[in-house]
Amino acid sequence: MTADIHDIADQRPHLMVVASDGAHVIPCALVQSVIDGDKPSAILTEPVVRRIIEEWFQKVTA
């Protein structure tokens, strides 16, 4: 298994998403740009999107 590792220390705040394919640290600005439609949702991997939806769903159905 190989992974690209990027230093995102300058890109705080960020989220940590533990998805089925591992842990991902994603800048909040990137997520916001996807929400705003400035970047395509495809920039996030399918496991990350599924995990974000799963956590959201748990919050709204609790």
Does residue 2 lie in a domain region? no
User: Which among 56, 59, 32 has a CA at the least distance from the CA of 44?
Assistant: 32
The residue segments making up the domain with residue 19 are 14-61
- What pLDDT was estimated at residue 39? 97
Does residue 47 lie in a domain region? yes
Ramachandran class of 15: left when φ > 0, alpha when ψ lies in -120 to 50, beta otherwise: beta
One-letter amino acid identity for 42?
Answer: A
Does residue 22 lie in a domain region? yes
How many folded domains does the chain comprise?
A: 1
One-letter amino acid identity for 35?
Answer: I
pLDDT tens-place string over residues 15-59:
999 999 999 989 999 999 999 999 999 999 999 999 999 999 999
Kindly tell me the sign of the dihedral angle through the C-alpha atoms of 10, 6, 47, 20.
Answer: negative
Kindly tell me the sign of the dihedral angle through the C-alpha atoms of 17, 22, 23, 26.
Answer: negative
